[in-house]
Amino acid sequence: MSKMSDDKPKFLIKSGKRLDGRKPDEVRPMEMTVGVIPNADGSAMVVCGKTKVIAAVYGPRELHPRHQVLNHKARVRVKYNMLSFSVEDRKRPGPGRREVEISKVLSEALERVVLTDRFPMCAIDVFVTVIQADASTRVAGLNAASMALADAGVPMRDLVVSLSFGKSYDEKGAGHMVVDLEKEEDNWGMGDVAYAVAPALNEILLLQMDGDLTPEEFAKGRQMADEAAKAIYDMQKQALKAPYQEGSK
């Protein structure tokens, strides 16, 4: 494993080719599996390049502590957690500012699609665990969480498809929009956005930006992300149906 380097790369994209050889609108090779945790009511694993995330869903179940109970709907509680060995330098375990924030935004994104009014006074617990991090973990986690919820049979309006996009610089320092950032692009890029949509309903569920993008750049990036989202959506559908397809038990 390479040591954490402080030297900034000369370029992140050169003549339409990124550091790992991808085209600007290309996502990393992805792998999606459901049912990876037998003890959970629903679970999924998403591997996106070197990023590897698992999500487990428990519930709907009784909500404790009782004072948090909502009388008209269920609470979707998300716990995002990065394992200590998921990054190069050991990550101090436990939730920090960043983990609490990500848990909150993921829970709000999922709450928009889950039919929470079907389970008053209940909790739907989602545990998102990053096993290996190489940027875009929150969007990979959200993809996994939406699949785990569907796998658990939780009624929801739509799946959640999410990915990141951002701005990389070339050897002359000019910006280029790219989708699905990997670590170098996330660390050194000129701006990055975490983006999630409900594809069938055409609603935005998550939108967080770090760095600077002009409105034009943002629009371009979003357009590229929407295009890439279609492939991710198809992959999610396929992964969810795979255990029930003919030939598999």
Partner 1 sequence: MSEIAENRQLVVPGEVLAEGMDYLPGDGAYRNQKNILSSTLGLVEFKGRLVKVIPLNGKYMPKKDDPVIGIVKEVGYNKWTLDLNGPYDAFMLVGDASDRYIDTNRDKLASIFGVGDAVICQIKKIDENLAVFVTARGPGLRKLHEGRIIHVKAAKIPRIIGKSASMVKMIKEFTGTRMFVGQNGIIWVDGGDEALAVEAVRKIEAEAHVPGLTDRMKAFLSEKTGKTFEEIEASRPSETPSTGARGFQPPVREAREFRENAGPSGEDDLFQGESE
- Binding residues for partner 1, rule: CB under 8 A, are 41-42, 59-62, 113, 115, 119-122, 150-159, 198-201, 236-237, 240-241, 244-246, 249
User: Which of residues 158 and 182 has its CB atom nearest to partner 1 in the complex?
Assistant: 158
Task: Report yes or no: 159 and 203 within 8 Å, Cβ to Cβ.
Answer: no
**Shortest Å, Cβ 150 to partner 1:** 5
CB of residue 136 to partner 1, shortest distance in Å: 22
State the Rg of the chain over Cα: 18
CB of 116 to partner 1, least distance (A): 12
Select 114 or 133, whichever has its Cβ closest to partner 1: 114
Q: Which is nearer to partner 1, 61 or 90 (CB)?
A: 61
User: With respect to partner 1, which residue has the nearer C-beta, 78 or 150?
Assistant: 150
Q: Identify the helix (H) or strand (E) that includes residue 206.
A: strand 203-211
Q: How many CB atoms lie within 10 A of CB 35?
A: 17
Reading the block at residue 159, the tokens are: 């799946």
DSSP bridge partners of 13: 18
Q: Provide the minimum distance between the beta carbon of 176 and partner 1 in the complex, in angstroms, as a whole number.
A: 32
Reading the block at residue 128, the tokens are: 């998102």
Order of strands across the sheet that contains 122-132: 30-34, 42-48, 51-62, 122-132, 75-82
